[in-house]
Structure 1
Amino acid sequence: MSSVLADVLVVTALIGALALVHRPLGDYMAAVFQSKNHLRVEKWIYRSVGANPDAEMRWPAYLRGVLVFSAVSVLFLYLLQRIQDKLPLSLGFKPITPDQAFNTAASFVSNTNWQSYSGEVAMSHVTQTMGLAVQNFVSAAVGIAVAVALVRGFARSRSRTGDLGNFWADLVRCVIRILVPLSVIAAVILVACGAIQNFGDIHSITTLTGDKQAISPGAVASQEAIKDLGTNGGGFFNANSAHPFENPNGFTNLLEIFLLLVIPFSLPRTFGTMVGNVKQGYAILAAMAVIWFLGVVAVTITEYAHPGAASQLAGGAMEGKEQRFGEGNSSLFAVSTTMTSTGSVNSFHDSFSGLSGGVLLLGMMLGEIAPGGTGSGLYGMLIMAVIAVFIAGLMVGRTPEYLGKKIGTREIKLAACYILITPALVLIGTALAMALGKGESSMTNVGAHGFSEVLYAYTSASNNNGSAFAGFAANTEYHNTMLGLCMLLGRFVPMVFVLALAGSLAEQKPVPATAGTLRTEKPLFTGLLVGAILIITGLTFFPALALGPLAEGLA
C-alpha cells in the first residue's frame, strides 16, 4: 500500500470515528450541564469548598469563580514545584527555579502546557501527578464551563439578572462526569498498547555502545490521556508524543489525535442541543471542519513536496519526524494539535518546511477555533459568529440577530475586544523580544526561520497552545516571565469579554425571526463565517507571517 493511500485511510478512519461519537457525546455533555441532580462525590466536593451548586450566578460572580480558582491553582502549582525535593517520590530532582516555576504554573493553569523544561529530568512523581496532571483536568474543565455559560446566554430568554448557571457545579460536573471517565478508558487502552504507567525509580541501563543511559519511569499513560483529551499538551517526556513510552505505535498515534479532537468537535452538538436547534450546531461544526481539513491538506502536500535531494530520497521531509509515523501522520498530528490549543507533538515543527510552518502558525493565529481547545474553541467560534452576523447586518442595513438575540453596540464591542486581545499579545510580545535582543539570542537559526521561532513562541503562548519550534531556547528568565504573562493574559482576559457577552445576551428578550433574518443554520452562513475568520486573521497577521514563514517558504 502506498504511503499516500495509507494517509488517506487514516484521515478517513479519524473522520469516521469523530462522526460516530459526535451526536452521543455532544448530547451527553448537554445533559450533564442541564442536569439538576448532584452525585454523592460532587456533593462532598461542594461541601469541602463551601459552594452552593444550585445558586445561579450573574456573569461577574461566574467570572470571580473562574479567576479565584485559577489564581489559587497557580499559587499551589508554583509552591509544589519549589518544594518538590522535600516531598516523597522526588527522584532526587532539585526545586524548579522561581522564573521557570512561574512559567510552568501559568502554563498548566491556563491550559497552555508550554514547557521550558524536560519533564523526565526535572519534575518529580508528585509534581507530575498532583500538580501537572490535576491541572490538565481542571484547566480543561474551566474552558468548557465558560463555553457552557456563553451557550446559556444564547439559550436563556429574558433573565433580568443575566444568570449563567453556577461555575462550581459546571467545573465539578465536567471533571467527574466527562473528563475522568473518558481519560480512564483512554489510559487503559494506552497501557494495553505499550505506554508505561508506574511510580518506579530511575533506571540506569548499559547501551550497545557501553554507555550508561538513564530511563525515567512515571504515570505516563494517565497523563497522556488527559493531556490530549483536555487539549492540554504537556508531555511527560521532552520528546512529547514522539517518545515511544508516550506514543508507542501507529494505533496509539491515531487514538491520541482522536482524543485531542473529540471534545472540541462534539461541543457544537452540545451547543445546538442546549439552544434547541441542532442545525445551528451543525453550521458551527461545518466551519470548524472546513478550516481543519484545509489545514491538513495544505501541510501534508507541502511536506511531501519539500525540495531537496534528501527529501526526494525519503519520499518527503522526514527531518524531525518519527519513522514509525511518517509524513502523513506527522502532518495530521501537527495540524490537529495547533488548531486545538493542545501543543502535544509527535514531530518537531521546527523541522517542517517554511510554508508548512506558516500553516501551523496560522492555525494558532485563527484563535484555535477549528475546532479549538476544550471549550475555548466553541466560545471563540461563537464570538466569530457574532462578528459574521454583524458584518451581514451591515451589508443589508438592518440590526443583526443571532439565535433570536440582537447584536447591538454593547455586544459587538465585547466581541471586538475579545478578538483584539490575542493579536496584541502576539505582536507586541514578538516585537519586544526582537527589539530587546532577547528573541535573537534564543534563536538557533538565523534569518526568516529564526524570526519564525520567536513568532511561534509568542503565538503559542498567547493562544494557549503550548507547542514550539524546537530550536527556540525558551528557558531564560526573560522568556519564562514574558511567556508566562502572555499565557495568563491570553487565557483569562478574553474570558472576561466572553462572560460579559453571555450576561448581556441572557438579559435580552428573544426577537422572532422574520423574512429578513439571516438563516445562520444554512451553508451560506457557514461560508460567511469561514471567510470572516480568514480575512480578519489574514489582515492582522499577514505582515508578521510575511517576515517569517512566507519569506522562508518562497526563498
Structure 2
Amino acid sequence: MGIIQVAVTLLIALLLIKPVGSYLVNVFSYEKTRLDRVFGPVERLFYRIMGVHEEQSMDSKQYVTAVLFSNFVMMILIYAVLRLQKYLPFNPDGIDNMPSALAFNTAASFITNTNWQAYSGESGLSYLSQMLAITFPMFTSSATGFAVAIAFIRGISGNKNELGNFYVDLVRLITRVLLPLSFIAALFLVFQGVPQTLHGAVTATTLEGANQVITRGPVASLESIKHLGTNGGGYFGTNAAHPFENPTPLTNLLHILFMLLLPTSLIYAFGVMIKNKRQGWSVFAAMSVIFLIMLGTVLFQEYKGTPALHAMGIHGNMEGKEVRFGFFESALFTAVTTAATTGSVNNMHDSLTPLGGFVPLAEMMLNNVFGGKGVGLLNGLLYVILSVFICGLMVGRTPEFIGRKIEAKEMKLASIALLIHPILILVPTALAFLRPESMASILNPGSHGISEVLYAFTSGAANNGSAFAGLTANTNFYNISIGLVMLFGRYISIIAMLAIAGSLATKSRVAASVGTFRTDTPLFTVILLMMILIIGALTFFPALALGPIAEHLGM
C-alpha cells in the first residue's frame, strides 16, 4: 500500500504539470486575457501605489537592481518586526523581542526563501511576526525567485535585452497564482483540523490531571503558502510532523503536491515560452531520473532499516517518523522537500538511516532536481549551458543553445554561479570544525556530527531550510555564518543568471544547421544527466565520504 500511495501521489503531480504550466505562461505573457477582468483592477491599484509603469520593460541590470533593492527593503522591515515584536500588537502570549543575531538570521532566511529556523516558532514569535515577518515574505520571496526564472527565459528566447518588469511579474504571480491557491488550500487545511485563529494559547487538563498549554495561531494560512511557494519553515518547531500543521494523510498529500506543483510546471512553461517543448521535456527528464534514483534510495533504506534494528527484531526504521505517515510517506516527503528546495519536514532527517540521510544532502548539493522558486530550472539550465559548451569543444562544433552562441562571457558567468554553491557549503563547514564554540554545538560525535554541520550549511546555500537536527544552531557563529551563506547563495546566482540572460538576449539567432549540436534529444538528456552527476560527485563526494557514507560503512 505504501508503494501504491507513492505512485498515486507522483501520478497526480505529473498530471498537473501541463495545465498549471500553461496557466503560468498565460500569467507571464503580458498579453490581454480573461484573467485581466478579475485581477487587473487590483493589480493596477498596486502599480499606482508603487509608481510602476506596467508597460515599461527592464534590461538585465535594471531587473537585478529592482530585485536587490526590493528584497533589501523587505529584509530590513522583517528584521525590525522581529526586534520589536514585544511592543507590537497581536502578541497575546507576551513573547519577547528576538535577539539581534537570531533576528538577522531569520530575516535573511525568509527573504531568501530559505526558511531556516534557529528558533522554535510557537515560542519565539508573536502572531504579528508570524504573519508579517514570516507569512508575508513567503509570498514575496517565492514570487521573486519565479520572476527571475521567467526573466531569464525571456532573455534567452527574446531578441533584445528586455526581460520584462520585475514589479509586474512579482504582483502578477502573487495575485494570480499564490494568493488564490493558498486561500483554497488554507480552507481545506482548516477543514482537516489545522488551527487558524488570533486567540492566544489555551490550557487543557490531561488524562493524568495535569495542565498542558496548547499553542495555536494563524497556522493554516502559513502552511498553505509554505508549501505552494516551496518556502519550508513551520509554525511549530517540529514542522509538518506536528499534528496541528499536518494532521491527516490528506493534508500530507496536499503538502507534497503543492511542493512539486510550481517547480515542475515551470519546466513545462519554459518549453512553451522558448517555443520548443521538447527542450523543456528534455530538462524535465534529466531531473526526474535523478529524483527517482534519490527517492528509491531513501525508500529502500528506511524500509530496510539498520543492522542494529534487525538485531532487536525490528523491521524498518520508524525512529523520528509519525505513525500516521509510516515509512513510505515519510521517505517521499524527504525526497520531495529537498528536491523542490522547500525545507518542510514531516519526519526528523537526523533519524534517517545513514544512506537515507545521504539523499536530502545530495539533492541539496546538486540543487537542480526540480528546485523551488525557479532555482531548480535555473541551475538545470546552467548545466545545460556547460554541457553544450563542453560537447561543442569535444566534437568541434560551435556551442549553441536555443539559437544563441555560448561564448567566453557566458561561460565565466555560468562558472561563477556553479562554483559559488560548493564554496558556500564546504568552506564554512571547514571553518566550523576549527572553532571550539561551534564544535560544542554538535550533539552527536563522529561521522554523524560531521553530517549535522555539513547539512546545516548545505541547507543554507541551497536556500532549502530543512535541518538535520542534533545541532544547536542558535549561536552567534551559526546565526551569522548561515545567514551570510543564505544571502550569498541566493543573490550571487541571481545576478549571474540575469547577466547571462542579458548577454544572450543581445545576440543574433543562429539558424540550426548540420553542425548544430541539438539539446532537445534523448542523447543530450543522457549527457546532461551524466554531467550533473559527475560534477556533483567530484565536488561533494569527499565531504559525503566523511559524513553519511562513513557512518553507513561503520554501522
Q: TM-score, normalization: structure 1?
A: 0.97
**Is the Cα–Cα contact under 8 Å of residues 220 and 246 in structure 1 kept in the other structure?**
yes
**2:10 maps to what in 1?**
15
Counterpart position of 2:59: 58
Q: 2 CA distance for matches of 1:269 and 1:370?
A: 14
Q: State the SS of the aligned residue for 1:288.
A: helix
The Cα offsets for residues 502-526 of structure 1, whole Å up to 9 and x where unpaired, read as: 1011111110111222221111111
Correspondence for 1:3: none
Question: In structure 2, what is the Cα distance between the partners aligned to 1:189 and 1:497?
Answer: 40
Partner residue in 1 for 2:188: 189
The one-letter code matched in structure 1 to 2:452 is E
Q: 2:107 aligns with which of 97, 105, 108?
A: 105
2:144 match = 142
| Cα distance in structure 2, aligned partners of 1:175 and 1:98 | 30
Q: Do the aligned partners of 1:440 and 1:450 also contact (CA within 8 Å) in 2?
A: no
Does the CA-based 8 Å contact 1:399-1:408 persist in structure 2? no
Q: Which amino acid aligns with 1:461?
A: G
Q: Which amino acid aligns with 2:42?
A: V
Cα offset, 1:202, TM superposition: 0.8
Match for 2:132 among 121, 125, 130? 130
Moved more, 512-521 or 482-491: 512-521
Measured in 1, the distance between the counterparts of 2:46 and 2:383 equals 36
Give the letter aligned to residue 126 of structure 1: L
SS in 2 for 1:435: coil
1:111-147 Cα shifts (integer Å, max 9, x gaps): 0000011111111111111221010001000000110
Q: Give aligned pairs, total.
A: 546
For structure 1, the 5+ residue unaligned runs are 1-5
Q: 1:116 aligns with which of 115, 118, 130?
A: 118
- CA–CA separation in structure 2 for the residues paired with 1:377 and 1:385: 12
In 1, distance between residues paired with 2:455 and 2:539? 15
Equivalent position of 1:502 in the other structure: 501
SS of the equivalent of 1:83 reads helix
Q: Which amino acid is 2:343 matched to?
A: G
Equivalence for 1:75: 76
State the partner residue of 1:44.
45
Alignment match, 2:229: 230
The separation in 2 between residues aligned to 1:392 and 1:193, in whole angstroms, is 52
The correspondence of residues 56-455 of structure 1 with structure 2, limited to 5 A, is: 56-90=57-91, 91-157=93-159, 159=160, 162-308=161-307, 310=309, 313-367=313-367, 369-455=368-454
CA contact (8 A) 1:10 1:254 kept: no
Query: How much identity, in percent, do the aligned residues show?
Result: 47
What is the DSSP-based 3-state SS (H/G/I as helix, E as strand, rest coil) of the residue aligned with 2:212?
strand
CA distance in 1, matches of 2:353, 2:249: 23
By how many angstroms is 1:226 displaced? Answer: 0.6
| Cα offset, 1:314, TM superposition | 4.2
User: What is the rounded CA distance, in whole Å, between the counterparts of 1:231 and 1:310 in structure 2?
Assistant: 34
Deviation per CA, 1:214-264: give whole Å up to 9, x if none. Answer: 111111111111111111001000010000111011121111011101110
2:116/2:460 contact within 8 Å kept = yes
Q: Which amino acid aligns with 1:83?
A: L
| Cα distance in 2 for residues equivalent to 1:513 and 1:463 | 36
CA distance in 2, matches of 1:7, 1:290: 21
Matched to 1:222, the amino acid is: S
- RMSD between aligned alpha carbons? 1.2
Q: Is 10-19 or 474-483 further displaced after alignment?
A: 10-19
Give distance in 2, aligned partners of 1:41 and 1:209. 54
- Measure, in 2, the Cα distance between the counterparts of 1:209 and 1:552: 41
CA contact (8 A) 1:422 1:490 kept: yes
- How far the C-alpha of 1:52 sits from its partner, in A, is 1.5
- The 2-side partners of 1:328 and 1:15 are apart by 13
Give the secondary structure class of the aligned counterpart of 1:205: strand
Spell out, residue by residue over 1:269-315, the C-alpha distance to the aligned partner (whole angstroms, 9 max, x if none).
11011111111111111111111111110111111222235457443
Counterpart Cα distance in 2 of 1:534 and 1:182: 35
* Structure 1 contact 30–270 (Cα < 8 Å) conserved: yes
| Deviation, structure 1 residue 448 | 0.4
Q: In the alignment, is the contact (CA less than 8 A) between 1:264 and 1:371 conserved in 2?
A: yes
Q: Is the Cα–Cα contact under 8 Å of residues 305 and 315 in structure 2 kept in the other structure?
A: no
Comparing 228-237 with 522-531, greater Cα deviation is found at 522-531
2:460 partner amino acid: A
Hey, what's the Cα distance between the residues in 2 that align with 1:169 and 1:357?
A: 40
